[in-house]
Every structure is written in C-alpha cells, then in structure tokens.
C-alpha cells in the first residue's frame, strides 16, 4: 500500500500536521469519527445484507479496535479479512492484534496498492481469501493522499478488475466541497510536511464508481450513508453539521 513520502500514521510529521489540523479546523474529531462509523456501517451492511464473507482491506493503517475484521466477524463469525499496507510501522503494531473468531480468518499482507498483482499474490492473501467468491474491497480514507500523477481511479479499477461479479468496493474519499477554506488550510499543513493531498469534488469522487452499480444512497457525505443510532452520534448523525465532514462515502456492487 503506497503511502505519502515520510508518512507513517504515527510519524512526527503526521502528528504535527494533525495538531495543525485541529488548530485550523476544530471539527476533525467529529470528522474522523464519522469516517470510522461509515466504515463500520458499510461492513455490517456488506456482511449482513449482501452476504459478503471476504474482506480485503486496502490501506488498513494503524490498527484500532474494533478493526474491520472484528466488525465483519461480529456480523458473520466465519468472515475472513486480509489487511494490506506497506508501512512497516503498521506491520509491527499489527502483530498480535489481528486475531479473529475461531471460525473466521484474519491476515496481514505487506503490499503496495499500486501493484494489484502484488496484493493478490502476496503470501497469506490467497490462503485467507478465495477470490472466486465475491469480496468487499475496502479503501478507506486513503485516496486523498493519491495525487493525479498516481492515477487513483485507475488504481482502484485495477484492484477491482480481477474480482468476481458481485464483489463490492466500499470507499471514503476526502473532499473540500463543504468548507474549502478550512480544509484547504489543513491540506497546506500536510503538504508542508511532505504529505500533499488531492481532495476531490463530488463528481470526482463518483468517478471511482462509474462501472460498479452504486448501493443506495449512492455517493454522499460519510455521515449520511445509512446512518443509525449505534454510531455514538445523536439521531444517527442528524446532529452533525455537513460542514464538519470532509469526506464522501459510498458502496457499490460489481455487475
């Protein structure tokens, strides 16, 4: 999983940028929680309502319970998950933290998302996931660190290409549509520390889902994707201001 130069999630640069982000934009804790809650809702929907039991998680980042595999296996105990990242710190912190249910399986793969063959061919991937069965490909909170020259849409499509019909991409995509000045200042703080961002409009976020069929309600702000009362937010997200959420979320199904 490619990451921005000099950027592990817990690097000094990232922590400094995060501190600056909180100064520039007081909403980040709400925004980050909304992204995490979107992920949990999407995974539960994929497992319970769409019958998905295989979860390749691309760009997993630093593990924090409940992890994606815990949510999937809570919904379907036999679910299997592979967490893929290329950050050595993530690998080190993941050891001992990725245990799953006795009937499910969980693995960690060190691989770069720009090379789908390396992801799918990595030791542990095919041992854990059976690709002839539809999978849920999750790419959460990462593509805003993928610049135009890296072709984020092309990368995601190449990841989807070998997956069987019925597979479901679930993504969250960073945006500055709602508070462009504040989010722009945050992006400049990251860029100043060697972590440039590519924030996308609603139309640009929708490009990731041009081929798969979108699951209702389509591409929208993360807190509005099938909200419920289990997320720790009042009235399923109704108390959250749109301008506090700088991320789109969506789930689709490959025909």
Quick: pLDDT tens for 152-192.
999 999 999 999 999 999 999 999 999 999 888 888 888 98
In a domain, 2, yes or no: no
Q: What is the pLDDT of residue 99?
A: 60
In a domain, 104, yes or no: yes
The CATH number that applies at residue 80 is 3.40.50.150
In a domain, 28, yes or no: yes
pLDDT for 43-88, tens place per residue? 999 999 999 999 999 987 777 778 899 999 999 999 999 988 887 7
pLDDT band at 249 (very low <50, low <70, confident <90, very high): very high
Q: What is the pLDDT of residue 89?
A: 73
pLDDT band at 201 (very low <50, low <70, confident <90, very high): very high
In a domain, 7, yes or no: no
CA–CA distance, 155 with 135 (Å, rounded to integer): 17
In a domain, 72, yes or no: yes
Which residue range(s) make up the domain with 169?
A: 12-253
Nearest to 98 by CA among 112, 115, 84, 87: 84
Query: How is residue 5 written in tokens?
Result: 């130069």
In a domain, 110, yes or no: yes
How many folded domains does the chain comprise?
Answer: 1
Nearest to 89 by CA among 12, 143, 152, 189: 12
pTM, full prediction: 0.85
More confident residue, 62 or 234: 62
Q: What is the pLDDT of residue 27?
A: 54
Q: Quick one: which H or E segment has residue 41?
A: helix 28-48
In a domain, 62, yes or no: yes
In a domain, 85, yes or no: yes
- DSSP tag of 212: S
Asked whether the predicted pLDDT for residue 233 surpasses 80, the reply is: no
Q: Quick one: which H or E segment has residue 81?
A: strand 80-85
């Amino acid at each position: 999983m490619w990451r921005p130069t000099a950027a592990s999630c817990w690097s000094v640069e990232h922590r400094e940028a995060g501190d600056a982000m909180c100064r520039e934009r007081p909403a980040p804790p709400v925004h980050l929680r909304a992204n995490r809650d979107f992920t949990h809702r999407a995974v539960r929907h994929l497992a319970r309502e769409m019958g998905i039991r295989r979860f390749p998680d691309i760009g997993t980042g630093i593990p924090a319970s409940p992890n994606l595999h815990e949510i999937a296996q809570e919904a379907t105990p036999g679910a299997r998950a592979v967490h893929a990242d290329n950050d050595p710190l993530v690998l080190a912190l993941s050891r001992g933290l990725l245990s799953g249910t006795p009937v499910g399986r969980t693995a960690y793969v060190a691989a770069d998302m720009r090379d789908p063959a390396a992801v799918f061919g990595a030791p542990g991937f095919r041992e854990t996931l059976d690709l002839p069965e539809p999978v849920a490909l999750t790419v959460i909170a990462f593509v805003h660190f993928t610049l135009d020259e890296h072709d984020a849409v092309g990368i995601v499509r190449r990841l989807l290409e070998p997956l069987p019909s019925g597979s479901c991409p679930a993504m969250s995509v960073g945006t500055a549509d709602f508070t462009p000045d504040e989010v722009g200042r945050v992006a400049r703080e990251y860029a100043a520390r060697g972590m440039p961002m590519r924030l996308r409009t609603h139309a640009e976020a929708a490009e990731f889902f041009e081929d798969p069929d979108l699951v209702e309600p389509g591409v929208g702000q993360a807190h509005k994707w099938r909200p419920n009362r289990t997320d720790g937010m009042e009235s399923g997200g109704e108390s959250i201001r749109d301008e506090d959420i700088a991320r789109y979320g969506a789930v689709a199904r490959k025909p």
